[in-house]
Amino acid sequence: MKKMSEIKNDSPNLLHSFLLFEYDDVKPSKSSDGIVTMKGIIQAAGKPNANNRIYPRPILEREDKKYQELIQERRALGELDHPDSPIVQLENVSHLVTNTSWDGEDLIGEIEVLDTPKGQILGKLVEREIKLGISSRGLGSTSRTNEGYDMVEDDFNLVCYDMVSNPSTSNAFMNLQESVAYQTLITQNRVVLLDEILNDILELD
């Protein structure tokens, strides 16, 4: 019989991790050309978060290092609210992460609000000082610790950081191997679309 610390969920799932977006010393600001920017904690290492999940620092450091390429290419995009997909949908993009840095065990992020439909909503919320959360989105598996926490395993892959209104999560999105996750998701979406088309045809008859 396995010990609690050895009980694992080996299938990669879509993992959301919520944090209240606490501004780092400075409030959101708007530049002369109207661009809204903000800075705050986007991830915390080594301690339970609102989803009862712990992210080891070495894993977060590895994923943040990989994320730097997206930041440098201005492709570190995020969405507004909780998408149930490991793919960033451009039509829902609201912001761009422009920089990350470590402060102790906290990962600090600098965010630029984009002039997109969802970005305009986010910008208005920020300007009115609505309290928002930030949620990392990624694929990975977890194991249960003796204390009852879900420890994120080494197969975790960060997708993006989303701005959210509440800490609701989507835990068990996909039970499949990561190498085929994206293709399977696309196939599932095609099946759903085909079903919708067939239903429309039947209703016309």
Q: Residue 197: what pLDDT?
A: 46
Q: Which residues are annotated as catalytic?
A: 82, 135
Tokens representing 58 are 């070495």
The total of other beta-carbon atoms located within 10 Å of residue 4's CB is: 11
Per-residue confidence band for 13, with pLDDT thresholds at 50, 70 and 90: confident
pLDDT for 72-127, tens place per residue? 999 999 999 878 888 999 999 999 999 999 999 999 999 999 999 999 999 998 88
